[in-house]
Amino acid sequence: MILLTSDGITSPQLEEEIKKALVPISRRAALVTTASCRYKEKDHNVPVLSALMRRFGLEPECVDVEFQDATFLLAYDVVILMGGNPFYLRKHLKKWKNSLEVLTELANRHVLIGISAGSMVLGDTMEFACQIEPGGIEEVGENVDCSGFGIVPLNIMPHYLAYLTAYEQTKEILESYEEETGRKICTINDGDGILISQAGKKGRYIKNERYTPIVAPNMPDYQAYFFDLYGTLIDIHTEEGDHELWEFMAKYYAYKGAKYGSWELRWRYGALIHDEEERLLHENPKQIPEPQVERVFMRLYEEKGVRVSIQEAVDAAQVFRSFSLRYVRLYYGAKELLAHLKKKGKKLYVLSNAQQVFTASELRYLGIYDYFDKVCLSSDYHCKKPDAAYFKALLTSEGLDPTKVMMIGNSEYDDIRTAKSLGMGACYIHSNLSPEGETANCDIVMRAMDLPSLEKILCREAHLA
């Protein structure tokens, strides 16, 4: 049996299929770590997979075909080709003369599981992956063979929805490749899998029901939507703890005459953030404070006796943000969701815990600022979610009936609880930026980031039951 997965055996459905395939005498499982060329047996997935195999009654062992003959794999009942660099895995499997025969035997008489790169090498080709992520080829070196082993009559693209967010051209590249070559690419999302009985046979797609959206029966047709931003529409990663950032900012301040050591600057920044929060809390003890970060950057100048304009403080804040930013991008389907709701005459608003000096520019850069009737950022209101006052400020200023408004966000604590307490509708999206293990009880629960599915639900193109 062959099981092709994107991120491993991560759903009850996939676990059940493995249990069915195991015969009573199954004893050993091989975790092939070769594709994880930097970490090998120290890969973070090794303990997770080892624990899972033990639950199945199997004894897991790490195997690396970079150094061990592929024939060695035939001694195991279950063989898992782990994720990483598919070209690296293919290179080291291929160097063993009988690798194709070994993989075919494993597929037909054992249980062969592919995870990400491990799934890709079992298909016919990996040429399309070279265009999406060429860095994988660079790790292997020159004259990289992009062909697969052809154990399954498919060309596998794992982590599909994640790639659509990370690389804007993913869909276009795959469609262009299919058109030019006549080869169909089979995409797999995290949590899903493809089960194939034997080498060369067709398979069936197993969808992870754990990720299926939950929609309340008779959900109202809301007339307005409040959107959180980061973790809901926008995927972002910053490194504000990076020492190089603070060394750079210390030089930046020194050019203006404010001399700091990097550690001193970092400490004073944190202390002044806290001081601004305390000041706001003293002014309004009932609200959750949100300072304006440009005031902090202004005070950092003032502490060194340097007078600057507010614009220079804003400039410093934006330099800080741009240097700490690793990426900022829309989740796949975000723009289409907003455009469709707007076309249907819905009112759209931003209600986000964010800084005006950072976020307004990022919304324009990402091309979604103009979709919103109003953009509310917590720094402008000096308070933040989950404070009900922040929600009420937007509801009141726009004259909105809360029962006709839905809050959409990725935090049950920040977004969902307060919205429900005010009589608003709510949609919870569990994204990569949501607290681990968090869920919610509300109109819509998206148990994985999938904005195209949310678009169908909100625009009444999906079955609501």
The CATH superfamily holding the domain 214-233+331-458 is: HAD superfamily/HAD-like (3.40.50.1000)
Integer Cα distance of 145 and 386 in angstroms: 53
Residue 464 pLDDT: 46
Q: Could you count the other beta carbons within 10 Å of the beta carbon of residue 78?
A: 24
The two structure tokens encoding residue 2: 């062959």
Looking at residue 40, what DSSP letter applies? G
Close Cβ partners of 64 (under 8 Å, ≥ 6 residues apart): 32, 33, 34, 40, 41
> In angstroms, rounded to a whole number, what is the distance separating the alpha carbons of residues 163 and 329?
12
pLDDT score for 185: 93
Is residue 26 within 8 Å of residue 209, measured between CB atoms?
no
Cis omega before residue 386 (within 30°)?
Answer: yes
Beta-carbon count within 10 A of 330 CB: 19
Closest CA to 352 of 414, 292, 431, 412: 414
In degrees and rounded to multiples of 5, residue 50 shows phi and psi of -60, -45
In Å, how far are 19, 59, 334, 356, 368 from 363, measured between CA atoms?
A: 47, 51, 12, 10, 6
Render pLDDT for 376-419 as a digit per residue (tens, 0 to 9).
Answer: 999 999 999 999 999 999 999 999 999 999 999 999 999 999 99
Alpha helices (H) along 410-463:
417-421, 451-458
The secondary structure of residue 379, as a DSSP letter, is: H
Beta strands in 331-365 (DSSP E): 347-352
Class of domain 2-207: alpha beta
Rg, the chain, Cα only: 26
pLDDT for the residue 165: 87
Contacts with 184 (C-beta within 8 Å, 6 or more apart), sequence order? 154, 155, 178
Instruction: Note the pLDDT tens digit of each residue in 68-112.
Output: 999 999 999 999 999 999 999 999 999 998 999 999 999 999 999
Q: Which residues contact 253 (CB under 8 A, 6 or more apart)?
A: 259, 260, 265, 300, 301, 304, 316
Query: How much is the pLDDT for 23?
Result: 78
Q: Cα separation of 50 and 27, whole Å?
A: 13
Angle between the N-to-C axes of helices 86-94 and 99-109, in degrees from 0 to 180, rounded to the nearest 10: 110
Instruction: Provide φ and ψ at 24, rounded to 5°.
Output: -55, -25
This prediction has a pTM of 0.82
**Can you read off the two tokens belonging to residue 354?**
């964010």
At residue 207, the pLDDT reads 85
Q: Which amino acid is at 362?
A: E
Q: Encoding tokens for residue 351?
A: 């209600």
Name the residue among 72, 85, 70, 97 with its Cα closest to residue 40: 85
Q: What is the pLDDT of residue 463?
A: 47
The runs of H, that is alpha helices, within 211-333 are: 243-255, 262-283, 293-302, 310-324
pLDDT tens figures, 43-66: 999 999 999 999 999 999 999 999
- The first and second tokens of residue 17, run together, are 């299929």
Query: Angle 164-167-170 (CA atoms, 0-180°, nearest 5)?
Result: 60
| CB contact set of 413 (below 8 Å; sequence gap of 6+) | 386, 435, 438
The pLDDT of residue 136 is 66
Report which of 40, 87, 93, 41 is spatially closest to residue 71, judged by C-alpha positions.
Answer: 93
Per-residue pLDDT of the chain in tens (465 residues, 90 and over written 9): 999 999 999 888 899 988 888 877 779 999 999 999 899 999 999 999 999 999 999 999 999 999 999 999 999 999 999 999 999 999 999 999 899 999 999 999 999 999 999 999 999 999 888 888 776 676 776 677 889 999 999 899 999 988 988 887 898 999 999 999 999 999 999 989 999 988 878 888 988 887 889 999 989 999 999 999 999 999 999 999 999 999 999 999 999 999 999 999 999 999 999 999 999 999 999 999 999 999 999 999 999 999 999 999 999 999 999 999 999 999 999 999 999 999 999 999 999 999 999 999 999 999 999 999 999 999 999 999 999 999 999 999 999 999 999 999 999 999 999 999 999 999 999 999 998 878 888 999 998 899 999 999 999 865 444
C-alpha 436/C-alpha 6 separation (Å) is 20
- Identify the helix (H) or strand (E) that includes residue 86: helix 86-94
Q: How far is 191 from 213, CA to CA, in rounded Å?
A: 14
Q: How far is CA 457 from CA 88, 215, 337, 405, 462, in A?
A: 41, 8, 10, 15, 5
